Amino acid sequence: MTDTNPKSQQKFSSAPLVTHMYTADPSAHVFEGKIYIYPSHDVEGGVPFNDDGSHFCMEDYHVFSMDKPFGEVTDHGLALSVNDVPWAARQMWAPDCTEKDGKYYFYFPAKDPDDVFRLGVAVGDRPEGPFEPQPEAIKGSFSIDPAVYKDGDDYYLYWGGIWGGQLQRWVNGTFSQQDQYPADDEPALCPKIAKLRDDMLEFAEEPRDILLLDENGEPLKTGDNARRYFEGPWVHKFKDTYYFSYSTGDTHCIAYATGDSPYGPFTYKGIMLEPVLGWTNHHSVVEKDGKYYLFYHDCEISGGETHLRNIKMAELIHNEDGSIQTVSAFEK
């Protein structure tokens, strides 16, 4: 009998994609017909756990590729090290990459010598790098988790993460030594967006808020932990709709919201990925040959150590009405 239930036809692999090193925060793109994956490179640095996430003490990046979905994974080696970035001191967190006119632009966050997260860009001739960093961080950049989205000829950078990602230190536009969270019944902190300049090295405009709305068109509130933004933005398009997806942080889901423009606003729709093994949940979505794939991580190979993660993938299925079938990271 032919199985016509799309959910049961979903391709899912619970196997870690990389096992010879720890990898996390996978940003996936198709370049030159292959899937390239840009993850964080988790390490055991012996840094004690704290609320700032200092134990996520990553120092460099490797780039990976696969010729086809769920195919063999190639490690292309070192692409960028913190030692080569003049402005960066520590904590090379979740990166992303895009291509323009044959050059590859690799965006990454790191803490500067004052322990303030900034965003940097490094440029290469190949999707796997190596990447040559700019001498300074992107002017006016802050916080973490850059994700770049190409819309026609325009490129947009999304970013922001609360708590260890410091977004709550920037509510007045300058860095505050104190956390400043809105009250539970006030609109939640927003992820950010800025169009990139033609040379891809700086913002072309002042950063703007991405508004995330509930079903009544009201901004999601700070106390709505199940739905409000925490970190890990990503944008993909399905048919004519823009999907903004993100981690809800302390409720550990990847949620998604939809809109008509890269700038939003986006209306909350549901859960794309349920909680995984480990505290963080971080993903990307890529389309290849008409199918969509979800890249994410969990802590399987470290036995649940939250800062020692491994990347995974699953097929992502959009229903006819545009809703997304929730992926469960655990066998049910």
Residues serving a catalytic function are 25, 231
Choosing from 37, 94, 97, 324, the residue that interacts with ligand FUB (CB under 6 A) is 94
Task: Kindly tell me which of 25 and 315 has the beta carbon lying closer to ligand FUB.
Answer: 25
Task: Kindly tell me which of 127 and 232 has the beta carbon lying closer to ligand FUB.
Answer: 232
Q: Could you tell me whether strands 310-316 and 291-298 are parallel, antiparallel, or unpaired per DSSP bridges?
A: antiparallel
Buried b (16+ CB within 10 A) or exposed e, 120-133: bbbbbebbbbbbeb
Q: Cβ 13 to ligand FUB, closest distance in Å?
A: 20
Q: For 40-108, give the secondary structure using H, E and C.
A: EEECCCCCCCCCCCCCCCCCEEEEEEECCCCCCEEEEEEEEEHHHCCCCCECCCCCEEEEECCEEEEEE
Choosing from 22, 36, 38, 56, the residue that interacts with ligand FUB (CB under 6 A) is 56
State CA 209 to chain mean position distance. 17
CA distances 136 to 110, 131, 133, 146, 192, Å, are: 12, 14, 8, 16, 20
Task: Kindly tell me which of 22 and 317 has the beta carbon lying closer to ligand FUB.
Answer: 22
Q: Cβ 123 to ligand FUB, closest distance in Å?
A: 22
Choosing from 141, 248, 280, 284, the residue that interacts with ligand FUB (CB under 6 A) is 280
Choosing from 17, 22, 26, 40, the residue that interacts with ligand FUB (CB under 6 A) is 40
Q: Which of residues 171-190 bind ligand FUB (CB under 6 A)?
A: none
Task: Kindly tell me which of 43 and 94 has the beta carbon lying closer to ligand FUB.
Answer: 94
Buried b (16+ CB within 10 A) or exposed e, 26-44: bbbbeeeebbbbbbbbbbe
Q: Could you tell me whether strands 96-100 and 231-238 are parallel, antiparallel, or unpaired per DSSP bridges?
A: unpaired
Choosing from 129, 130, 146, 161, the residue that interacts with ligand FUB (CB under 6 A) is 161
Residue 57 sits in the site that holds ligand FUB (CB under 6 A): no
Residue 273 bridge partners (DSSP): 254, 327
Task: Kindly tell me which of 81 and 241 has the beta carbon lying closer to ligand FUB.
Answer: 81
Choosing from 16, 18, 22, 24, the residue that interacts with ligand FUB (CB under 6 A) is 24
Q: Cβ 294 to ligand FUB, closest distance in Å?
A: 15
Q: 77-83 long-range contacts, Cβ below 8 Å, gap at least 24? A: 77/128, 78/129, 78/130, 79/106, 79/124, 79/128, 79/129, 79/130, 79/131, 80/106, 80/108, 80/122, 80/129, 80/130, 80/131, 80/133, 82/110, 83/59
Q: Cβ 289 to ligand FUB, closest distance in Å?
A: 28
Q: Cβ 159 to ligand FUB, closest distance in Å?
A: 10
Q: Cβ 321 to ligand FUB, closest distance in Å?
A: 29
Choosing from 16, 22, 25, 43, the residue that interacts with ligand FUB (CB under 6 A) is 25
Q: Could you tell me whether strands 212-213 and 266-273 are parallel, antiparallel, or unpaired per DSSP bridges?
A: parallel
Cβ–Cβ < 8 Å for 75, 129 = no
Q: Which of residues 209-248 bind ligand FUB (CB under 6 A)?
A: 231-232
Choosing from 37, 144, 189, 194, the residue that interacts with ligand FUB (CB under 6 A) is 144
Q: Cβ 316 to ligand FUB, closest distance in Å?
A: 19
Tokens of 308: 């020692």
Task: Kindly tell me which of 232 and 265 has the beta carbon lying closer to ligand FUB.
Answer: 232
Cβ–Cβ < 8 Å for 120, 138 = yes
Task: Kindly tell me which of 39 and 187 has the beta carbon lying closer to ligand FUB.
Answer: 39
Please give the single-letter amino acid code of residue 129.
G
Binding site for ligand FUB (CB under 6 A): 24-25, 40, 56, 93-94, 144-145, 161, 231-232, 280, 282
